Amino acid sequence: MRLYPQSMTRLIEELGKMPGIGQKTAERLANYILRLPAEDAMALAQAIQDLKKSVRNCSICFNITETDPCHICQDANRDRTVVCVVEQPADVITIEKTGQYNGLYHVLLGHISPLESIDPEDLTMEKLLSRVKDGTVKEVIIATNLNMEGDATALYISKQLEGYEKKVTRLARGMPSGGQLEYASVAVIADSLQGRRII
Amino acid sequence: MRLYPQSMTRLIEELGKMPGIGQKTAERLANYILRLPAEDAMALAQAIQDLKKSVRNCSICFNITETDPCHICQDANRDRTVVCVVEQPADVITIEKTGQYNGLYHVLLGHISPLESIDPEDLTMEKLLSRVKDGTVKEVIIATNLNMEGDATALYISKQLEGYEKKVTRLARGMPSGGQLEYASVAVIADSLQGRRII
């Protein structure tokens, strides 16, 4: 049964590849685009093309940027003695939004994962290590995800920096603020107990 | 605080205009597009452009199509004595998916709504009426939405066809299959009682 015109089917397919977009949502979005005035639809298509053309990775921290170095690496007000290591550019945004951090970043563009055959060489690890081994950097905050791959990556980095007189820290593990013990998993409560702090 | 490169901000804005896509989802989708290989991102942009270029409305039923008349209007196996009237092209797909209907369609491209100042002249109403007043059509199934605007539109159509010896029907109102009385609204139960059928 052929339901949609061919070009509609193709757009639904393309939209459906996006994360969290199922068949139903893809159809809804395609119908929305169909009803858009032509110039608005073209603006959306253009925005996608422009993004891929003008955004690259910063040659220092590998965050996404339109200028090289990126505006964070260029910012004279940033504390150059601290580097926060994250997996993806999106993680930089998340941390920036807290307004709690004024150091520099390093984006690994992934995590170490033997299962997915992702080795340190597939990441920007070499650049990170040569960057932080430099005298300026005093602390490396490892803000990779709090899962198996993120932990493996954190462990690898801390091993590589052994003997370099750098403070290597990891994000705190515990109960999320606003959380209730009743609904927390055993692992989270165990982490939270282990990391308890004097008040 | 400038978080994203400019072209990223623009794409997030464009994506965020889509229905059901909030700021968070728009950011997630933009990040996904950013990580796509260039050719996949271009394929998505191209699919949007192609859709707007190659899809038009059928000159008979106003459903979306790449050929004119559309494949349903052209189909010799369709029952030409029944016309099902819907608001949007997406509604045709929904009815086609049931596999229960083998007649023709007419897409109004909207509904009558005094509040939104949408009059019958803003829809494909004139074309519908001249189409169904023709001798071939025996039944007009009004499948506009079951809300105030859809009902007003249905009423208008049935008034216009008074005295034309056509059967004018409306989709059944009642409890959705699988529904529980406990959670149904009074209006739905009232409809369901009123439309009760002998078993």
Q: In this structure, what token pair is assigned to residue B196? A: 């009760």
Per-residue pLDDT of chain B (199 residues; tens, 9 = 90+): 567 888 999 999 999 999 889 999 999 999 999 888 889 999 999 999 999 889 999 999 999 999 999 999 999 999 999 999 999 999 999 999 888 999 999 999 999 999 999 999 999 999 999 999 888 999 999 999 999 999 999 999 999 999 888 999 999 888 888 888 888 888 888 888 888 888 8
CA closest to B65 among chain A residues: A5
B45/A93 Cβ within 8 A: no
Alpha helices, DSSP H, located in chain B: 6-16, 23-35, 38-54, 71-74, 89-98, 125-133, 148-160, 186-194
Chain B residues lying within 8 Å of A55, measured CB to CB: 5, 7-8, 34
Which parts of chain A register pLDDT below 50?
none
B3/A31 Cβ within 8 A: no
B34/A89 Cβ within 8 A: yes
First to last CA, chain B: 66
A20/B28 Cβ within 8 A: yes
A5/B65 Cβ within 8 A: yes
Of the candidates B177, A159, B75, B198, the residue with the CA atom closest to the CA atom of residue B188: B177
pTM for this model (two decimals):
0.70
pLDDT digits (tens, 9 = 90+) for B183-192: 888 888 888 8
The yes or no reply on domain A64-170 and CATH 3.40.1360.10 is yes
| pLDDT at residue A121 in the model | 95
CA closest to A93 among chain B residues: B3
| pLDDT at residue A20 in the model | 86
What is the overall mean pLDDT for chain A? 91
Of the candidates A110, A81, A125, A75, the residue with the CA atom closest to the CA atom of residue A96: A75
What pairs with residue B151 in β-bridges?
none
User: What is the interface pTM, i.e. ipTM, of the complex?
Assistant: 0.72
Domain edges within chain B: 6-54, 64-170
Chain B residues lying within 8 Å of A38, measured CB to CB: 52
Task: Give the closest of A15, A28, A44 to B19, CB-based.
Answer: A28
Of the candidates B137, B55, B56, B144, the residue with the CA atom closest to the CA atom of residue B94: B144
Buried b (16+ CB within 10 A) or exposed e, A26-58: bbbbbbbbbebeeeebbbbbbbbbbbbeebebb
Nearest-angstrom CA–CA distance, B68 and B74: 9
Alpha helices, DSSP H, located in A36-105: 38-54, 71-74, 89-98
A1/B48 Cβ within 8 A: no
| pLDDT at residue B1 in the model | 55
pLDDT digits (tens, 9 = 90+) for A53-104: 999 999 999 999 999 999 999 999 999 999 999 999 999 999 998 889 999 9
Chain A residues lying within 8 Å of B91, measured CB to CB: none
| pLDDT at residue B101 in the model | 93
B25/A33 Cβ within 8 A: no
The yes or no reply on domain B6-54 and CATH 2.40.10.10 is no
Q: Which of B44, B67, B73, B105 to mutate to test the interface with A (most CBs of A within 10 A)?
A: B44
Tell which phi-psi region holds residue B153, choosing left (phi > 0), alpha (psi between -120 and 50) or beta. Answer: alpha
Q: Which of B15, B39, B52 to mutate to test the interface with A (most CBs of A within 10 A)?
A: B52
A2/B20 Cβ within 8 A: no
Q: What are phi and psi of B53, to 5 degrees?
A: -80, -40
Q: B70-73 contacts: CB < 8 A, separation 24 or more?
A: B71/A2, B72/B104, B72/B105, B73/B104
Chain A residues lying within 8 Å of B20, measured CB to CB: 25, 28
